[in-house]
Amino acid sequence: MRNVAPSRALVRRSYQWLTVAFLVIAVAIFMAIFGLALYQIPLVSKSHDAYPFFNAGRGVLFVGGVILGGVGVGMAIRAVTWKVDNDVAKLLGDELSRHLDKQYALIRNINRRQLGYIDAVLLGPPGVLVFRVLNLKGKFLNEKAKWLKADKSGQWIPMRLNPSQQVIDDIKSLKQYLATKGLQDLPIFGAIVFIHDDPVVHLTLKEPAVLATHLSSLYRRLQVNYFAKERIDQKLVNQIFNELYEA
């Protein structure tokens, strides 16, 4: 099984963001200094009719420079902290590699402008499988598309993020993205995978809207749906791979 992540493409994108961030910061510094200089060297006297416009203009330059500088710093932080791989998705890839041959490919850490972020996607003759991989601990209750987690007192409270809805949204985004590439009506499945086993992660499932399981049970659980039959040929698998993987 091919087990890959578009790390080089993401590093390249990080450098691009960093370059743009430095340009934005440079422009911001120029604006702020120029605006501040106009306070020290007023080019228009207070008695002049144009003074209100001049005063407003230098204020806009200074404040705008400060705000733009903040944006630039934010872009720089985003660039240097850009995640080029997903460590828990690596564990998923290692587990699946034990069972799957070269017909299959797992792409980790997909992050494309037109698509958004997806933890991992498995491609193979059975179709496309979208993963949400969770490195969480505790007791969880999943009833249909609703998720609850037990707090310290044992009371069930809603999870801050709903993994079922995340997978459903990822599948929708992936379908739309692939449709723009001429790849329509594809069999796309979803799965939620908890890295830790019971009792570190205890799952109670009641008619789940999306398959949810521990990593150790994933391959067995997928036998009844995703792996049940072959749905697409290898040529189509490779086409989808080429659209999702950035070298």
Q: Are 128 and 187 in contact (CB under 8 A)?
A: yes
- The predicted-structure confidence for 86-122, as pLDDT tens digits, reads as follows 789 999 999 999 999 999 999 998 988 789 899 999 9
Bridge partners (DSSP) listed for residue 147: 142
Q: Are residues 134 and 60 in the same domain?
A: no
pLDDT tens for 143-201 read: 999 999 999 999 999 999 999 999 999 999 999 999 999 999 999 999 999 999 999 99
Q: Are 106 and 120 in contact (CB under 8 A)?
A: yes
Same domain, 164 and 198: yes
Of 65, 80, 95, at which residue does a domain stop? 80
Based on the domain organization, do 97 and 67 belong to the same domain? no
CA–centroid distance for 157 within its chain: 25
pTM for this prediction = 0.76
- The single residue listed with the structure tokens 């008695």 is 47
Which of 31, 63, 80 terminates a domain? The answer is 80
If one counts the domains in the chain, the total is 2
Q: Of 29, 56, 30, whose CA–CA distance to 44 is shortest?
A: 56
* Distance (Å, whole) CA 145 – CA 207: 9
Q: Which helix (H) or strand (E) holds 77?
A: helix 51-80
Q: Are residues 74 and 172 in the same domain?
A: no
**Cα angle at 225 between 136 and 196, to 5 degrees?**
15
Q: Quick one: 160 and 131 in the same domain?
A: yes
Is 106 in the same domain as 192?
Answer: yes
Q: Tell me, yes or no, whether 22 and 91 share the same domain.
A: no
Please give the residue range of the domain that contains residue 217: 85-244
* Domain end position, chosen among 31, 49, 80: 80
Does one domain contain both 209 and 236? yes
Indicate whether 232 and 142 sit together in one domain.
yes
